[in-house]
Amino acid sequence: MLKIGNLNIKYNTMLSPMASLTDVSFRKLLDEIGFIGLMVSEMISAEGVNRLNKRTLSMMRSFEFKTPQFIQLFASEPEPFVNAVKFIEKETNFSGIDINMGCPANKVIKRGAGAFLLKDPKKIASIIKEIRNNTKLPVTVKIRLGYSKVNVFEIIDILENEGVDAITVHFRLKSNRYNERANWEYASSIKERIKTVFIGNGDIWDASNAKEKLKFVDGLMIGRGAVSNPLIFAEIAGEKRDDLRFKQILERFLELIEEYYKPEFRLAKLKAHTRFMIHNKINSKKLRQRIYNSKSFKEAGNYFKSIVL
């Protein structure tokens, strides 16, 4: 059990925010499976929220889920963050706010947001101070080890000073690529010094690895590994690996895409998840190609259902 702000979090494993992947259909799938403490939405532009941008609002659809849902925001200045946070607190039922200080994508960095903020500790302090003063919702922050050099200890001190409720560290620099392993060596020295809830993130693909890493942190965020196997949280909690259940999960996911998206968006949605869902699976190359080449959601869905855990 973890406490994040006023929330009691039942499991110490969480879904990491991923653009176009941790959308409402995938979060609903995990909510139905259970055994997960918290989920974070795709990153959402705070300025898009402030403009009431139609696409942004559709990405923010929230429902009554069993698992607490946090919304992740990105921006470069305190003001858009604060306005978006006020709107979310008043108009949605998200349980908390996660601030993105780790995204390396060029379009985000160019706007001075995401991991760019790691270069400006003063700006980080003013953003969190303003957000903290304007909401009662729990506020968490997701960072990396640094931008091009490690400054994670300095950033953690600032975030703690401004009263964040949890900090997630993705153990890579902004400049690291995924083919370099996440640098978990930093976990124990951060744990020794951090006072707030400390969540570790990076390269967790199975339950045994997750259990090993949980020795060094208060909680784990899992991203690609959760798309690859949505049952990973149940397996960490002690459920047996189950091929049949995995098949049912794939079928349920197709139903949820149909439930939440209009027909013209369904195929793209399925293709986005296929990239990681097919990771490490039998016949993955051939199946991936078939799904990517499919012309309809139904055709892609038939191939998708044949993925074997």
Ligand X SMILES: Cc1cc2nc3c(=O)[nH]c(=O)nc-3n(C[C@H](O)[C@H](O)[C@H](O)COP(=O)(O)O)c2cc1C
CB distance 86 to 115 below 8 Å: no
Chain residue at closest Cβ approach to ligand X: 223
Cβ neighbours of residue 196 under 8 Å, at least 6 residues apart?
A: 159, 160, 164, 165, 166, 167
In the complex, the smallest distance separating the C-beta of residue 269 from ligand X, rounded to whole angstroms, is 13
Interface residues with ligand X (CB under 6 A)? 16-19, 21, 42-43, 72, 100, 102-103, 142, 170, 201-204, 222-225
Q: Which residue has the tokens 């946090």?
A: 70
CA–CA distance, 196 with 132 (Å, rounded to integer): 15
By CB atoms closer than 10 A (0-12, 13-18, 19+), residue 46 is buried
CB of 209 to ligand X, least distance (A): 10
Smallest separation, CB 203 to ligand X (Å): 5
Nearest residue (CB) to ligand X, 248 versus 292: 292
Closer to ligand X by CB, 67 or 295: give it: 67
Out of 19, 82, 103, 159, the active site residue is 103
Is residue 41 part of the annotated active site? The answer reads: no
What is the end-to-end Cα distance of the chain in Å, rounded? 29
Would you tell me the crossing angle of helices 297-304 and 263-277 to the nearest 10 degrees? 30
Q: Measured from the CB of residue 139, what is the shortest distance to ligand X in angstroms?
A: 14
- Catalytic positions, please? 103
